[in-house]
Chain A
Amino acid sequence: MSTETLSTERPISPATERLSIVDCDVHPIVKGGMNSLFPYMPIAWQKRLKQKAAEIVTVAPLTLRFEHPNGSALRSDAATPSGGPGGSDPDYIKTDLLDKHDIDIAILNCLQPGAMAAALAGPDESVVMCSAFNDFFLDNWKLTGSGPLRLAISVPVQDPVAAAAEIRRLAKNPAVAAVSLPLINIRMGNRYYYPIYEEAHRCGLPILLHVTGTDSIYYGAPHAAVGLPESYIERYVSLSQIAESNISSLIFSGTFEKFPGLKFLFAEYGFAWILPLLWRMDRTWRSLRHETPWVKKSPIEYVHENVRLSTQPLDEPERPEDLHTLIKLFGYDLLMFSSDYPHWDNDMPEQSLRTLPLEARRKIFGDNARKVLRL
């Protein structure tokens, strides 16, 4: 089977108009692993983690079954000039991603603490490690509220009260643009998460959701439907189910009635599945509204009000215009551009959604992000 790809698109938007681009999903890595984090931990925790030889687990092992078929999810060509892994040098993120692809602002979303918080570390360990990771980036990378790199802080989801405290501790820092909430195997509409939502809502920070690397692998992490996948590729293409389940959970549990201003950005789950989900939720709500009477309007309206999806990984239908028809059907307001740099499946702005009308590109590449993220 041959497929036409997006590379054959021809731009309709005037090439002269420069888009102001926000990249809402870039993955930094802590260079030096755990040793770089120790200065940001209490002494007793340094002792505990050193004694556990914890530096070996700063990157989530995907297990042999789910290891990337090419050996790493990191782009080999994004390695830093000093030989570090892609994403480990803020200056190189600026030159290799922002400058090269004309991106104004990038949101840093580190998956290392996410994996710890979701499954790899215990509750107390993950509280300490999330704070250490957050402080490392804010301090060591010298992030500011006016710089091009902003942080989605990671929170220890196994302890929602501590997660709320972490949001409260850092929310005043203008370099913080969002709260990255590592998902566990409790649906997002469950009141378990309320302390986190309440604090993020109070602080005006959106919640960013992203796979942590533990999904569909480790007990405690969220799993896609029907048993264990057999390979990386099978797991990869089923991860969007986790976002689908969580969006319906948020709607029907009434989360958006309880926290009406809170925004949720689902990053890297794709978006082609959202239209059938919207239609199904809307049609069923019309019949069974009385079961969840706190859902006071169509689920479609709640999604437009409170939910956003990142663009990556872009699907590539045989006719690119079909993708654009789909986006038009659910609305230009739902998408926010993300590259996923420095991962193997990243999308760059000059190669993404090029045949959309200029009005849509302005929204998707910047305006929508500016309304959702705290920039």
Chain B
Amino acid sequence: MKRRQETHVGALESFAIGAIRIVQVGRREIGILRSDDATVHALLNVCPHRGAPVCKGKIGGTMLPSAPGELVYGNDGKVLKCPWHGYEFDIETGASLFGIMRGRLHKFETEIRDGEVYVSA
């Protein structure tokens, strides 16, 4: 993550926890995701697989690798699933889950100051 121009994207309270809001920062569409009271992620709205608007996907959990016939749900609230081909990514690291691809989500640094959210993009 490179530090670039800092842009104000809104008040922290305007971002609902667990939902992504897409904002325009310069020429980029960036999805802002507030994952808890004090954590905000900024994700480029381009899926590294086929360029789909990944930030229009759902935030949730996933089924962890498990034995045949066994379901283990995990990573609740930490997974972004692309609305096209369903590729899943870890919102903390941007990495794809469990080796489905080498590419990862492009993330930007965020900062919360005085209740306002800033993105360096």
For B52, the chain A residues whose CB sits under 8 A away are: 77
The verdict on A185 contacting chain B, using a C-beta distance below 8 Å, is: no
B79-120 contact mask (Cβ, 8 Å, vs A): 1 or 0: 001011110000000000001111100000000000000000
Partner-contacting stretch, out of B1-9, B10-18, B36-44, B53-61: B53-61
The verdict on A16 contacting chain B, using a C-beta distance below 8 Å, is: no
Q: Are A344 and B85 in contact (CB under 8 A)?
A: yes
For A2, the chain B residues whose CB sits under 8 A away are: 99, 101-102
The verdict on B27 contacting chain A, using a C-beta distance below 8 Å, is: no
The verdict on A5 contacting B57 (CB below 8 Å), with A344-B84, A344-B86 known, is no
For B78, the chain A residues whose CB sits under 8 A away are: none
Q: Which of B83, B99, B103 contacts A77 (CB 8 A)?
A: B83
A345-359 contact mask (Cβ, 8 Å, vs B): 1 or 0: 111101100000000
The verdict on A347 contacting B50 (CB below 8 Å), with A2-B99, A76-B83 known, is yes
The verdict on A76 contacting B51 (CB below 8 Å), with A5-B103, A70-B81, A344-B86 known, is no
Closest B residue to A346 by beta carbon equals B84
For A70, the chain B residues whose CB sits under 8 A away are: 81, 86
For B48, the chain A residues whose CB sits under 8 A away are: 7
Q: Which of A3, A7, A344, A348 has the most CB of B within 10 A?
A: A7
Q: Are A351 and B83 in contact (CB under 8 A)?
A: no
Q: Which of A5, A77, A348 contacts B101 (CB 8 A)?
A: A5
For B101, the chain A residues whose CB sits under 8 A away are: 2-3, 5
- Count chain A residues whose beta carbon lies closer than 8 angstroms to a beta carbon of B: 20
For B99, the chain A residues whose CB sits under 8 A away are: 1-2
Closest A residue to B55 by beta carbon equals A77
The verdict on A75 contacting chain B, using a C-beta distance below 8 Å, is: yes
For B56, the chain A residues whose CB sits under 8 A away are: 76-77
Distance between Cα atoms of A69 and B81 in the complex (Å): 12
The verdict on A198 contacting chain B, using a C-beta distance below 8 Å, is: no
The verdict on A4 contacting chain B, using a C-beta distance below 8 Å, is: yes
Closest B residue to A343 by beta carbon equals B84
The verdict on A5 contacting B49 (CB below 8 Å), with A345-B85, A346-B84 known, is yes
How would you classify the secondary structure of chain B's contact residues: helix, strand, loop or mixed? loop
For B57, the chain A residues whose CB sits under 8 A away are: 76-77
The verdict on A6 contacting chain B, using a C-beta distance below 8 Å, is: yes
Distance between Cα atoms of A8 and B56 in the complex (Å): 22
Q: Which of A3, A345, A350 contacts B51 (CB 8 A)?
A: A350
Closest B residue to A69 by beta carbon equals B86
Q: Are B102 and A75 in contact (CB under 8 A)?
A: no
What's the least CB distance linking B72 to chain A, in Å? Answer: 16
Distance between Cα atoms of A73 and B85 in the complex (Å): 10
Q: Are B103 and A7 in contact (CB under 8 A)?
A: yes
For B49, the chain A residues whose CB sits under 8 A away are: 5, 7
For A8, the chain B residues whose CB sits under 8 A away are: 103
For A350, the chain B residues whose CB sits under 8 A away are: 51
What's the least CB distance linking B91 to chain A, in Å? Answer: 18
Q: Can you give 12 A-B contacts (C-beta < 8 A)? A: A1-B99, A2-B101, A5-B103, A7-B51, A8-B103, A70-B81, A75-B83, A77-B56, A77-B57, A344-B86, A345-B85, A348-B51
- Where the two chains meet, the residues of B that have a C-beta atom closer than 8 Å to any C-beta of A are 48-53, 56-58, 81, 83-86, 99-103
- Where the two chains meet, the residues of A that have a C-beta atom closer than 8 Å to any C-beta of B are 1-8, 69-70, 75-77, 344-348, 350-351
Given contacts A2-B101, A6-B50, A76-B57, 20 further A-B contacts (CB under 8 A): A2-B99, A3-B101, A5-B101, A5-B102, A7-B48, A7-B49, A7-B50, A8-B103, A76-B56, A77-B56, A77-B57, A77-B83, A344-B84, A344-B85, A345-B84, A345-B85, A346-B84, A348-B50, A350-B51, A351-B51
